[in-house]
Amino acid sequence: MLQGLVAVVVFLTLVVLALVGWLVASSMAARREAAGQVAGIVLLQQQLDALKAAQDKTSQTLSGSLQAGQSTLTQSLHSNQQILQQLNAQIGELQGTNKQMLRLGADVKRLQDILTSPK
């Protein structure tokens, strides 16, 4: 009977050792999996940071381009405004000259009428 009891104790000890071994292996596998997940999260964070940096650079480039375009447009509008002012002044001068020419034509016509002898 003592041998049977020893056999049961040895069997139970082996079962307990097997369970402890399984728990240790499971714990290590869980740690490796958690470490893999952490590495994945770190990689995702790095990619997110790189994407943000690229977005910031693109935003700065776009902002610079927009400012340059706005400056060019402002200069062009200012130049066009000056040209339009000059054209308006020249048109005003031409209108004045045209009125003078019409008056001169009317004066010449009257002079012609005066100089033509009545018949």
Reported as a single tens digit per residue, the pLDDT across 72-109 is 999 999 999 999 999 999 999 999 999 999 999 999 99
Burial code of 43-81, b = ≥16 C-beta within 10 A, e = fewer? eeeeeeeeeeeeeeeeeeeeeeeeeeeeeeeeeeeeeee
Provide the pLDDT for residue 119.
Answer: 61
For range 7-24, the mean pLDDT: 83
